[in-house]
Structure 1
């Protein structure tokens, strides 16, 4: 008797065993399955009223199709499901942070609006200062916020790109992150040119891209140092 096992990769294997006859002249055998479970393979049974000798006179070699490697297939499906979940969550984080940046670029967070919020805090920290110095502090805080926002966006996009593809493609993930940063920064500043209370500036685009570039370069340097043979030998 030949047992033909079908796997997930369509590889076929033949296995021979000697069939057994039970009290009803039904020929079969329990095939060991995954985890010690058995699969009953019935070869044939004579019809009522037929002579079993006639049935047994048929050729003794038959082919039976049985599924195989069910545990491996289930494990691969579970791993793929977990990977897809990580990919979706990683890109949801990117989209969510990009939406926050887009909201902060609206008219509600213009210079005049945020300066009124920051004024009490600056006076509490520094004290009474002249208008020009206060303006310079406001400007520095806003530009630093630009830099930090897009640095975080670059890190999230870099991580999402790595999870989606291969962790060995660090440079590709870095370029994807910088493309997302530059695209969002340009679009945000472009829409501010049509605002009555805000002004779009190419300088702000450069600040945003610089924040993303510094974040990506930092991650690349740290990751490559961790993967270098010297660091592995030192840690061991």
Structure 2
């Protein structure tokens, strides 16, 4: 009985340096972006002005300070959720492409999902711990939970797509 789970890319050069670089470059890029955003220059005190001007221009309206601070927090937390969702997807892709092939497909998929979530948790925890030591930032367990929720939602979307969406596409072709 054929499995409805997408197969990892089978390539004779799976262990090659080029394949490894292709698999892991998105993870490295995501971590670098998160590291850059975790500096003093991306604290709320530095992003509020440019973001407020952009939103007011885009929406053709002026926000009072209380309105703006609520919106600014929502924008920042949505950024956490989205950014770590993308990181989680990059982790999954890298593990899916590089884990040993002898694993049975469902086990490979579950392992890649679990490792992607672990990688997301580790980066989120390191990011928030780093922010504890910056004068205008504060590390927060809540942000780690938001980050991991973004990663979990992305992993669930990938799981559903691989479980249900991919098999329908292959039947059509």
What TM-score range do you get, normalising by the shorter chain? Answer: 0.7 to 0.9
Instruction: Identify if the C-alpha distance between structure 1 residues 130 and 81 changes in structure 2 by more than 3 Å, giving closer, same or farther.
Output: closer
Instruction: Identify if the C-alpha distance between structure 1 residues 207 and 232 changes in structure 2 by more than 3 Å, giving closer, same or farther.
Output: closer
Tell me which of 65, 71, 74 is aligned to 1:140.
74
* RMSD of Structure 2 on Structure 1 (CA): 2.1
Distance 2:166 2:40 in 1: 45
Structure 1 residue runs of 5 or longer lacking an equivalent are 1-77
Displacement of 1:80 in angstroms is: 2.1
Partner of 1:104: 37
Distance 2:152 2:61 in 1: 36
Displacement of 1:81 in angstroms is: 6.5
Structure 2 residue runs of 5 or longer lacking an equivalent are 1-10
As a proportion of its length, which structure holds more strand? 1
Determine whether 1:89 maps to 2:22: yes
Instruction: Identify if the C-alpha distance between structure 1 residues 227 and 117 changes in structure 2 by more than 3 Å, giving closer, same or farther.
Output: closer
Determine whether 1:154 maps to 2:88: yes
Please identify runs of 4+ aligned residues in structure 1 that moved more than 3 A.
81-84, 231-234
Normalising by the residue count of structure 1, what TM-score does the alignment of the two structures yield?
0.61
Instruction: Identify if the C-alpha distance between structure 1 residues 232 and 101 changes in structure 2 by more than 3 Å, giving closer, same or farther.
Output: closer
Determine whether 1:216 maps to 2:172: no
Displacement of 1:193 in angstroms is: 1.1
Q: Which has the higher contact order (CA 8 A, sep 6+)?
A: 2
Distance 1:109 1:91 in 2: 26
Deviates more, 1:171-180 or 1:121-130: 121-130
As a proportion of its length, which structure holds more helix? 2
Aligned to 2:63, the other structure's residue is in SS state: coil
Count of aligned positions: 157
The structure that has the greater radius of gyration is 1
Aligned to 1:155, the other structure's residue is in SS state: helix
Distance 1:142 1:191 in 2: 17
